[in-house]
């Protein structure tokens, strides 16, 4: 028996694995404490990863600072690292492999999977990556365990030339590619991205690859300027109340073909609908909490035939092409990284991600 409680081949562990580790444990609204917790025990078909880097996602911020989940939990799902041990039956991975891991993988056979609604699959809703407590990603810890269905289909090998930091974008880029597909962004279309935080800028990058003509909106001048460097034709301050006029002036009075909303404010949805042309699409990327209520003019949908779309999480059937956008460097994702914090300073990093400054975009928790 190994220290993890599973019978392992002598070659199945990369040196001794400690019994305990440090982890950022969510303990209450807005509070994450660095604590000593047990390293997850391995069972059949499972993989143990030593975390090198984990990105802070907006969903982590909502869960922590709005208390959308019950403590204690170890969050963080944009995970990269090195395989250090594998359980019985694992053949795809070996200690020493550099990897990233998704935290959700669907069953592939249920009603929702057959409809390509993978994020609605009951298995998908069962998180398969954990560092302890209720499974919820676990990337804010020194080690995470991938459960069998994730170990089999949700881990991606990293080429030698790709840094762990760069690879943390594989999961979020997958969600972005899925969203762009849902919004049906096409070459030559006019697309408005509302919000130029890390998610908004990723939506911009992928839409730019599709050949769309892009405009952006953000109250922070520094973020507007960043969007121009990454492909936007123009960027507007929404505080002036003229965003809709600016878009209509550039589209012969019609409005944008698609509006991608990357901020979670209900009032923005009304503006997004107004900025979209009749028959256009509004995609709500950031509207993923259980509390927010949204009101909008019924005529925008019932008469103007505008579509309101949602997109949540990643899609397993685009795993390889979406990962390739990051691994190949085709998307300049490292342009978004502005701050790195050690695990010991995770509360500081979370606070910055929750209350961004003019200088901040993507925040990473690193172990290197």
Q: Which of 177-186, 191-200, 260-269, 345-354 has the least mean pLDDT?
A: 260-269
346 and 277 within one domain? no
Q: Which domain holds residue 150?
A: 20-169+331-366
Alpha-carbon separation of residue 312 from 111, 285, 301 (angstroms): 18, 7, 21
Q: In this structure, are 48 and 139 located in the same domain?
A: yes
Number of domains in the chain: 2
| CATH number of the CATH domain containing 304 | 3.40.50.720
The answer to whether the CB of 106 falls within 8 A of the CB of 127 is: no
Structure confidence by residue, pLDDT tens digits, 26-40? 999 999 999 999 999
pLDDT at 239 over 50: yes
Considering only residues 2 and 368, tell me which one the structure prediction assigns the higher pLDDT: 368
Q: Using pLDDT thresholds of 50, 70 and 90, give the confidence band for residue 12.
A: low
Rounded to whole angstroms, how far apart are CA atoms 214 and 231? Answer: 7
Q: Are residues 179 and 285 in the same domain?
A: yes
Do 337 and 250 have their domain in common?
no
Q: Are residues 25 and 162 in the same domain?
A: yes
- Over 90: is that where the pLDDT of 5 sits? no
Contact 311, 286 (CB under 8 A): no
Residue-level pLDDT at 345: 98
> Residue 1: pLDDT above 70?
no
* pLDDT tier at 286, thresholds 50, 70, 90: confident
Contacts of 166 (CB under 8 A, 6+ apart): 326, 327, 333, 334
Tell me if 322 is assigned to some domain.
Answer: no
**Is the confidence at residue 4, as pLDDT, over 90?**
no
- pLDDT computed for residue 13 by the predictor: 67
Question: By C-alpha distance, which of 284, 287, 280 is closest to 301?
Answer: 280
Residue 123 has pLDDT above 60, yes or no: yes
Structure confidence at residue 2 (pLDDT): 44
Output the pLDDT for position 35: 98
- The mean pLDDT value of the chain amounts to 95
Residues 38, 157: one domain? yes
pLDDT confidence of residue 298? 96
**Other C-beta atoms lying within 10 Å of the C-beta of residue 115:** 10
Q: Please determine, for residue 348, whether its predicted confidence score (pLDDT) is greater than 90.
A: yes
Question: Is the same domain home to 206 and 233?
Answer: yes
pLDDT at residue 240, as a whole number: 86
User: pLDDT tens-digit profile of 70-109?
Assistant: 999 999 999 999 999 999 999 999 999 999 999 999 999 9
Question: Are 234 and 279 in the same domain?
Answer: yes
């Amino acid at each position: 028996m190994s220290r993890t409680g599973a019978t392992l081949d002598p070659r199945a562990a990369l040196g001794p694995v400690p019994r305990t580790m440090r982890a950022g444990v969510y303990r209450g609204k807005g509070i994450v404490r660095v604590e000593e917790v047990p390293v997850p025990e391995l069972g059949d078909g499972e993989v143990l990863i030593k975390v090198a880097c984990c990105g802070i996602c907006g969903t982590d911020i909502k869960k922590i600072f709005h208390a959308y989940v019950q403590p204690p939990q170890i969050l963080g799902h944009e995970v990269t690292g090195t395989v250090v041990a594998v359980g019985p039956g694992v053949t795809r991975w070996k200690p020493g492999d550099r990897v990233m891991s998704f935290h959700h993988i669907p069953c592939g056979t249920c009603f929702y999977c057959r409809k390509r609604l993978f994020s609605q699959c009951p298995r998908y809703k069962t998180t398969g990556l954990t560092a302890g407590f209720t499974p919820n990603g676990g990337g804010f810890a020194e080690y995470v365990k991938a459960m069998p269905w994730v170990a089999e289909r949700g881990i991606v090998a990293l080429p030698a030339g790709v840094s762990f930091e760069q690879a943390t974008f594989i999961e979020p880029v997958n969600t972005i590619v899925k969203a762009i597909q849902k919004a049906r962004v096409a070459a030559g279309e006019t697309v408005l991205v509302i919000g130029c935080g890390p998610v908004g800028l990723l939506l911009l990058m992928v839409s730019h690859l599709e050949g769309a003509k892009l405009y952006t909106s953000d109250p922070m001048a520094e973020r507007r300027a960043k969007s121009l460097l990454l492909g936007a034709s123009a960027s507007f301050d929404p505080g002036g109340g003229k965003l809709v006029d600016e878009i209509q002036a550039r589209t012969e009075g019609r409005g944008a073909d698609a509006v991608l909303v990357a901020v979670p404010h209900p009032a923005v949805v009304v503006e997004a609908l107004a900025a979209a042309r009749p028959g256009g699409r509004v995609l709500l990327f950031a509207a993923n909490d259980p509390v927010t209520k949204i009101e909008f003019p019924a005529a925008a949908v019932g008469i103007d035939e505008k579509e309101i779309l949602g997109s949540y999480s990643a899609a397993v059937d685009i795993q390889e092409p979406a990962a390739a956008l990051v691994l190949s460097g085709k998307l300049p994702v490292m342009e978004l990284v502005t701050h790195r914090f050690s695990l010991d300073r995770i509360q500081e990093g979370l606070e910055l991600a929750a209350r961004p400054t003019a200088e901040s975009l993507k925040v990473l928790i690193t172990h290197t």
